[in-house]
Structure 1
Amino acid sequence: MKKLTTVASALIMSLAVSGSALAKETLALAVSTLDNPFFVSLKDGAQKEADKLGYNLVVLDSQNDPAKELANVEDLLVRGAKVLLINPTDSEAVANAVMRANKQGVPVITLDRGAAKGEVVSHIASDNVAGGKLAGDFIAEKLGKEAKVIQLEGIAGTSAARERGEGFAQAVEANGFALLASQPADFDRTKGLNVMENLLASQSAVQAVFAQNDEMALGALRALQAAKKEVLVVGFDGTDDAVRAVEAGKLGATIAQQPEKIGELGVATADRVLKGEPVEVMIPVPLKVVSK
């Protein structure tokens, strides 16, 4: 009888420990969209680090919809997530999701794009302002000052679009570029193609295009090739498709982020938060120009 009691006690203790471990292992990742290779790489980096550290990572795709993003976060919180890692669809709109997590006492870490409101324990991203300036300076290096340029903007309201545009504006001013047009194409390849086609009808004198991400850059490149125009195109993110296009001599350059590193650092930071260790409010990830 004593032996049975001991075995039962051990079983109860084992279940309690495994239940505690399971609760500890639940991390949540809400990604703005998994249709973009950049964010797929970010998710992959987070997953690898979660596997390495022994966490269960629940990933949900917000499909670039702030309403779906909020619903996803509510779902993740119901699932008992201990830390919320979020790549916002929109820096303003994400505030509702962040504050929902705040209310439940769940720490929030933002990835690549920041949140305008709510309490965030750490923001992990590249220096987008510096990256936009790098892109402009590369154009100046290749074409000289006073080049005629077009900018394709990302999704309005995202910190990435705002900051990359700010950095490029610095380069426009410093190098005396003629900014022929600056229009949104929502970080989307097809929209990049369509917007570029429309702009070529009125801005045929363009010499260079800065696209605030590689998807728009590759779309713009396709439009320019179809129009048989030789124009320097610079993207941003360093995705595999863009790097291949650079190596093939089609894309002028891409400002390479390290999306896998952003995801990896997100999970590593969540681990430190759960252990009660101090974390940096802003964790920068280095950028570099990838050109032939």
Structure 2
Amino acid sequence: MTKLISLVTGVAITLAPAAFAQSEDISAAGAALAGPPVAMPEHTIGILQLNAQAEVAFRIAEGARIPAERLGWNVIVCDSLGDPARMASCSESLLNQGVDAILTVAIEPAPVMAQLRRANEAGVPWLTLGGGTTPNELISAQYAPLETEMSDLLHAYLIAQLADRPGNEHTMAISTFSQVWAGKERSDDLYADLEGTNITVVDEHVSDLANQIADARQSVTSQLTAYPNVDALLGTANYTVPVMGQLVAQRFPGKDFPDRPLVVGYLDDLVNLNSVRLGEVDAIATMRLDAASYVAIDQLAQLFARGTPLNADAYLQSEDVYGIDLREATLVTADNLPPEGEYVEPAADFISFFNAKWQAEFGAGG
């Protein structure tokens, strides 16, 4: 057995011989896909963060920063803290510092339209990472999942579980961040999937992105007070999930579903996984969203070093482009939790894949 430090989590991971074999195989695949060796010019990229206090947003940004620095690029990160005014000022600052590309973590176009136009006029690529945004022709490429791949998994679980809850009609309350495209996609898909069922959404709260945790605590408390017999709570924003779990546990001490409301949500933040481990949350749907960040960096690398145009479909069609599936969605329950302190392991070790590819192409990333 050998221990490595995860580039994403910073957690020591024990790898068995079989895991080494998988890593060696996928590294060979990455090296085989590499283009002819070429020098990588020095570049500076800017990362426009949505709100780094959200663990998943931090992970998405780190998924771009880490490989970018491995390629020898300078990286400037500006955190908007969920404030639309700061989104504009951050992107303006990045452009003023002469970045060669801007990568945003699920930032909607509306608050940064002036900067999008400026970047477009200057030929600075503008890429969206981690969560899709409203389509806009000024965005060079979006590397983000189809939200329904996660939401359909979660909704099927929720509908099946509520069949075990007493009563012929069931109610649920949700917290969403529908002002962001990804959140709206998740909540819209919920309403579509609930059509024809006996489940009704009795309350929908739209999160305050600039005041995430306090807002979640206040809104969930209000929902449980207004609907004390609610059958389920769902958080489309990852940071609401542990808050829901804690507050439901306080209202129903020592109870598990179906003797308390079902609690479900999104993304394998360590705090979310721990909430499942504690029995406070029943299930989360997740993907390795930092995989899309690695794709974005690879696409920029090909553009910078070879002049190859960005392939906007490189993530969603990763099996065709790279030969590996980067979009695997997982439903996590108490039955399939990863080891404590670790995220859900992707089926394809994309970090080893891209590092081997870049080592062969640019002499970097190994």
Larger displacement relative to structure 2 (216-225 or 279-288): 279-288
Q: What's 2:141 paired with? A: 122
Distance 1:130 1:92, change over 3 A: farther
Q: Given that residues 127 and 139 in structure 2 are in contact (C-alpha distance below 8 angstroms), is that contact kept between their aligned partners in structure 1? A: yes
- TM-score, normalised relative to structure 1: 0.84
| Structure 1 counterpart of 2:195 | 173
Query: What is the Cα-based RMSD across aligned positions, in Å?
Result: 2.1
The TM-score normalised by the length of structure 2 is 0.68
Is 1:253 aligned to residue 293 of structure 2? no
2:9 maps to what in 1? none
Give the match for residue 147 of structure 1: 170
Q: 1:180 to 1:115 in 2, by over 3 A?
A: closer
- Match for 1:164: what amino acid? R
Stretch deviating more after TM superposition (76-85 or 91-100)? 91-100
Q: 1:105 to 1:278 in 2, by over 3 A?
A: closer
The CA deviation at 1:113 is 3.4
Cα 1:170–1:125, aligned 2, differ >3 Å: closer, same or farther? same
Query: For 2:57, which of 12, 19, 39 is the aligned residue?
Result: 39
Report the residue type matching 1:135 in the other structure.
Answer: L
Given that 1:189 and 1:218 are in contact with CA atoms closer than 8 Å, whether structure 2 keeps it comes out as no
Query: Unaligned 5+ residue runs, structure 1?
Result: 1-19
Check if 1:191 corresponds to 2:212: no
Q: Is the 8 A contact 1:131 1:167 kept in 2?
A: no
Residues 1:280 and 1:176: Cα distance change in structure 2 (over 3 Å)? farther
Distance 1:51 1:85 in 2: 14
Which sits farther off after the overlay, 132-141 or 31-40? 132-141
User: Percent identity at matched positions?
Assistant: 18
Give the distance between the partners of 1:115 and 1:71, measured in 2 at CA: 20
Amino acid at match of 2:271: D
Compute the displacement of 1:273 (Å).
2.8
Q: Does 1:159 align with 2:181?
A: yes
Cα shift at 1:38: 0.8
Structure 1 equivalent of residue 89 of structure 2 = 71
Larger Rg: 1
Distance 2:118 2:181 in 1: 20
Q: What residue in structure 2 maps to residue 98 of structure 1?
A: 116
User: 2:107 touches 2:128 (CA, 8 Å); kept in 1?
Assistant: no
What corresponds to 1:280 in structure 2? Answer: 311
Alpha-carbon distance between aligned partners in 1 of 2:128 and 2:147, rounded to the nearest angstrom: 15
Residue 68 (structure 1) shift: 1.2
Q: Which residue of 2 aligns with 1:4?
A: none
**1:286 and 1:96 mapped to 2: Cα distance?**
36
The structure in which a higher percent of residues are helix is 1
Structure 2 residues not aligned, in runs of 5+: 1-39, 254-259, 317-326, 335-366
Secondary structure at the residue paired with 1:132? helix
Question: Which piece of structure 1 moves more, 115-124 or 30-39?
Answer: 115-124
Corresponding letter in the other structure for 1:65 = D
- Residue of 119, 122, 133 corresponding to 2:152: 133
Does the residue aligned with 2:144 lie in a helix, a strand or coil? strand
Quote the offset at 1:176 in angstroms. Answer: 3.3
Q: Is 168-177 or 211-220 further displaced after alignment?
A: 168-177
1:28 touches 1:81 (CA, 8 Å); kept in 2? yes
Deviates more, 1:91-100 or 1:134-143: 91-100
Which amino acid counterpart does residue 209 of structure 1 have in structure 2?
L
Q: Deviation per CA, 1:61-112: give whole Å up to 9, x if none.
A: 1111122111111111122211111124434323333222112211111112
**Correspondent of 2:264 among 227, 230, 234:** 234
Seen in structure 2, the aligned counterparts of structure 1 residues 137 and 189 have a Cα distance that, compared at 3 Å, is farther
